[in-house]
Each structure stands twice: as C-alpha cells, then as structure tokens.
Amino acid sequence: MKKYLPFTVWALCFALVGQAQEISRTDTILAHLQNPSQDYVLAVSHRGDWRYAPENSLPAIQRCIDLGVDIVEIDVRLTKDGHLVAMHDTTVDRTTNGSGKVSELTLEEIKSLRLKNACGVRGSRIQVPTLEEVMQLTKDKIMVNLDKVEGETVREVYQVLEKTGTVQQAIFKGRETVAFMRAKYGSLLDSIIYMPILIDNTKNPSRFVEEYNRELSPLAYEVTFASETSENYKQILKLKEQDIFVLHIALWDALVAGHTDEMSLLEGPDASWGWLIANGANGIMTDRPKALLAYLQNKGLRNNTTDWKK
C-alpha cells in the first residue's frame, strides 16, 4: 500500500511553508482521506443538498460549501455533442421541465431547460450545470465525488479537471475490476483519485479488494452491505487494518444494513450514523448534511487544525 505522512506531520509540513503557500480546504480534506482516523469523520452530501435546491445544481453544491461539507457527490452524463453535465438519470424527464435522453440532447438544448425542486415542482430558474461549471465553483473549497462516470467517461472528465486545475480534488469511483479499469484506461488510473465500490453484486469481494490494493493502492473504498454477515461487510475490518479510508452510504437500508439517515430520525443518530462510525466508517454519505455535521461536531468528530470559515 502507498504510505502517507501522518496527518499531524502533514499539517506541520504545510505550516513550515508559512505564508508562501496557502493551504486550501481541499488539501486538508485530501489529507484526511490519505490518513483516515476515527477522530475525524468526513461528511459527504448526496447530489448536493437537494432539499435546499434542485439536485446536482450549483446552488445545491454551494449550500454544501457553506455548511462545511467535505465532499459533494454529483452525477455526470455526456450530451449528444460531447459536453459533460450534472445529471443523475439517463433522461432529463424527472429533474427538469423537459424530456429526452441526455445522450440525445445537445448542451444548448439542455441549457434551455430548467430544473425542478425536490418535490418535482416546475418553475425553477436554475439550469443544469456543466461539469466545468461545477469544478469552477468547487475549486479549492470542497472535494467532488463523481458518480455515473465509472468505466465510461473517465477520460472526458479528466480533461475537464485538467482544464480547471481540479484533478486532485475529484474522486472517481466504480464497481468494475481493476483489470477492466487498467485495460481501458492504462496509466491514466495513476493520475486520478480512484475509489473502488464494493457493491452487493461484487463477485468475490476479498479478491476484488486484494487485486485493487496490489495494482492501484486506492486511498478509499465505498462499501455497501445489506447485512453484517455479508462478504462486503467482512472486508471493512481488513481495510481498517491497512489504514484505508472507508465510506459508508446511509441512503437506504440495503446499503448499510438499515443504519440509514431515516433511522437517525426514528431512533436517533447514535443508532444510525453512530453505529456506522463504530463499525468502520471514516466518511458517511448522507441526504441530510446539516444534521450529520451537527451530530459529528457534537461528538467531537470534526476537530480540524484550521478554521476554514474565517
């Protein structure tokens, strides 16, 4: 596995640089990814704060920045004319006032649409953003977790990241084997932050992890588990033993054996987020970022070396 400086040493090295080099917030978030600790849990917001503004929109992402979220998860699709836009579905029907497949619409056509709010109500003035607009907004402020890129548009996304100077604040992820990814993308994999996903249908999770660790040495894994007896769940302890960051997805039951955001409402956050942390989570993806941040702060799990809200 790749070895990284302990977080305290990393922070000291940057401090010695003094005013000659300013430390960005994303530098610190990346350091926490590289040096996972149960003393600091990263908050990851799903599709931006979509209860505040339309999912995958710039205002929903800005809300995450304002709240102090560490990582915002967005979905990326390719338009007919080769532009990358923030869109979860293959079509624009659910989230906009338009219809049709993203892959069959031009950027101009998609920009003419307007996003719906979380209740599906039309009338918003907010447009679908391009990935370039997202990365310009988030630069040096928050890390970005890229979904729907997987083994499809890695090269195209990388070009946007290079253009915007944001390669080291974007997390690619996917459920394909390392052999598949290496065959398709070659040395490009060594230039990006790549997080394999242990999903419910992963074949032979132990071998999946071993091969990734040997070939790529990932900083982190996204781990889902329907039960505590699942093979995926058993991999968490092995990842922890190797100081690899583990991200849990508290969105619905099958992803975290029922320890979801909803459970935090019904039984209290200790039964959901607290349980996930006790069972290996270094980061939690949530649909309730403000509430998760408040919980983590109350538990003393957000003690940082720098006040980024100055």
pLDDT tens figures, 17-42? 444 457 899 999 999 999 999 899 99
Collapsing DSSP to helix, strand or coil, 163 comes out as helix
**Percent over 70 (pLDDT), the chain:** 91
pLDDT for residue 19: 46
pLDDT for residue 13: 55
pLDDT score of 123 more than 80: no
Domain ranges of the chain: 22-75+139-298
Q: What confidence category does residue 164 fall into, taking pLDDT thresholds of 50, 70 and 90?
A: very high
CATH of domain 22-75+139-298: 3.20.20.190
**What average pLDDT does the segment 134-140 reach?**
98
pLDDT for residue 3: 45
Residues 162 and 236: their CA atoms lie apart, in Å, by 33
| Mean pLDDT of the residues in the chain | 92
pLDDT for residue 7: 53
H helix runs in 45-142, sequence order: 58-67, 107-111, 131-138
pLDDT score of 193 more than 60: yes
Q: Minimum mean pLDDT among 112-121, 201-210, 261-270, 287-296: which range?
A: 112-121
Residues 119 and 121: their CA atoms lie apart, in Å, by 6
pLDDT for residue 199: 94
Tell me the two tokens of residue 248: 């849990």
Contacts 24+ apart (CB under 8 A), 50-55: 50/118, 50/287, 51/118, 51/287, 51/288, 53/117, 53/126, 54/95, 54/115, 54/116, 54/117, 54/118, 54/124, 54/126, 55/88, 55/95, 55/115, 55/118
pLDDT score of 80 more than 90: yes
Q: What confidence category does residue 120 fall into, taking pLDDT thresholds of 50, 70 and 90?
A: confident
pTM above 0.85, yes or no: yes
pLDDT for residue 158: 98
